Amino acid sequence: MTWRPLFAAALAAVSITAFAPSAHAVPLREVLIVGNNWEGTADVVASTPDLTRIGRINVIPDRDARLWEIYLNPVRLAYFLGIRETVGEGHDQFVDDMYTTPDGSAVVVSRPSFADVVSIDLADGGVNWRFPVSGFRSDHMAVSPDGTKVAVSASTSNTVHVLDIVTGRQLGSFRTGDKPHENVFTDGGRYVWNSSIGEVNTAFDDPSQDWTKGDRRITIADATTFQQVRVVDMRQRLDAFGRGDLSDAVRPAVFTPDESKLYFQVSFYNGFLEYDVATDRITRDKVLPKNPATSEDRTTWINDSRHHGLSINPAGTKLCVAGTMDDYATVVDRASLREGPLVTASKPYWATVSGDGSACVVSESGSDRVTSIDFATGRKVASVPVGDHPQRVRLGHIPAGWTGTR
């Protein structure tokens, strides 16, 4: 297997997608789309570090129809209520992840509580297509570098579906470990890396009970044949590195621009690790500061997270870390692994990169804001209010002049 570079000079791992418009394409504007999970909306803001607000999308225009289906099916209703009381922290989960289509006419959204993926038309706000995932909950997605495929985790069926982003037709699927979560396309779209995080809703959080969390691993699949190519069990790599105390549930992860290194967070950990792809081993570990106000009772941490959110600048020289339970975000120099200023943030849940690559953008789920942090200085640039419980933030493209769905 070879791992050719995925990024052009202006793209950052996982967080950024770019599409070359055709000669007849509608003029497009680059934006950041913020998914407000508990509210069922997505806020659209400028992709520049000032994060100027542009408009809002209702991602559950078919809410009544979906709820009727759920209420009439006792099994689906049980899962719907279970999601609300566990991973949803008492709230329904209406938007987990989202990407725009190559022509900028629609946004494709995974909706955990509705166990589906939908395409929302940006002109009229209607549903173009809907794909019900297998099982009872949809989760993180990834879009291929050419913008034509979207991979979505079906977390209760241990499956990743790969869909045509324009039509919603399933192109294929592959099996994963327990509770598939993060997806990343690599090698120019040739492979999909999926990390399964196991059970994160139980109270069996003591390290001695780690075995109860299930089968957690990275599954690498061919994005054309959908056959499993390789499995990476981080338990073995962590033990070999001398960190047998850490969970092997891989959470947010980013590749360097040349895809030679993978940086990843794991459950319960205030830090991240560096994995060398060629040698198949963990090479470095970064421990980040703890907030003394954060309880050390692991059962109080959201869905087994301590830190959840990681991005890398286009040059591959700086990492940005969301210190979720410690209420800060920080920029880390990749060469030295030295962190910059700790920027106060209320339960930051995700980290991505501005369109020009100059800033990290984090979602503050505790204060319903998105905030940009300059990669060069590590200082806050701007912060704007968004909807209820922002989580994923993705770069996308919309028609120029768009100010909201009708």
Mean pLDDT of 62-89: 95
In this structure, is residue 4 part of a structural domain?
A: no
End-to-end CA distance of the chain: 47
In this structure, is residue 405 part of a structural domain?
A: no
Residue 317 neighbours by CB under 8 Å, 6+ apart: 333, 334, 335
Domain count, the chain: 1
Say how far apart CA 108 and CA 143 lie, in whole Å. 10
* Residue 355: count of CB within 10 angstroms of its CB: 23
Crossing angle, helix 74-85 and helix 63-71, to 10 degrees?
110
Q: State the CATH number of the domain containing residue 362.
A: 2.130.10.10
CB 250 within 8 A of CB 218: yes
In this structure, is residue 17 part of a structural domain?
A: no
Say how far apart CA 11 and CA 18 lie, in whole Å. 8
Q: In the predicted model, is pLDDT for residue 258 greater than 50?
A: yes
CA torsion, ordered 81, 35, 252, 292, to nearest 10 deg: -80
Burial classification of residue 335, based on how many CB atoms lie within 10 Å of its CB (0-12 exposed, 13-18 middle, 19 or more buried): exposed
Q: Which 3-state string (H, E, C) describes 325-352?
A: HHCEEEEEECCCCCECCCEECCCEEEEE
pLDDT of 25 reads: 67
Per-residue pLDDT tens for 165-212? Answer: 999 999 999 999 999 999 999 999 999 999 999 999 888 989 899 989
In this structure, is residue 256 part of a structural domain?
A: yes
Per-residue pLDDT tens for 177-186? Answer: 999 999 999 9
Residue 267 neighbours by CB under 8 Å, 6+ apart: 197, 200, 213, 247, 249, 251, 304, 305, 306
pLDDT of 179 reads: 97
CB 167 within 8 A of CB 129: yes
In this structure, is residue 357 part of a structural domain?
A: yes
Quick one: how far is CA 335 from the chain centroid? Answer: 25
Number of H helices, E strands in the chain: 3, 28
Which residues is 399 bridged to in the sheet?
Answer: 28
Per-residue pLDDT tens for 100-151? Answer: 999 999 999 999 999 999 999 999 999 999 999 999 999 999 999 999 999 9
Residue 364 neighbours by CB under 8 Å, 6+ apart: 345, 346, 347, 348, 349, 370, 371, 383, 390
In this structure, is residue 174 part of a structural domain?
A: yes
- Tell me how many degrees the CA angle 27-32-38 measures, rounded to the nearest 5: 130
Quick one: how far is CA 402 from the chain centroid? Answer: 25
pLDDT of 404 reads: 86
Q: What pTM did the predictor assign? A: 0.92
In this structure, is residue 389 part of a structural domain?
A: yes
Burial classification of residue 338, based on how many CB atoms lie within 10 Å of its CB (0-12 exposed, 13-18 middle, 19 or more buried): exposed
Query: Which amino acid makes up residue 168?
Result: G
Query: Which amino acid makes up residue 15?
Result: S
Tokens 């967080």 locate to 15
Range of the domain at 295: 28-399
Burial classification of residue 35, based on how many CB atoms lie within 10 Å of its CB (0-12 exposed, 13-18 middle, 19 or more buried): buried
In this structure, is residue 13 part of a structural domain?
A: no
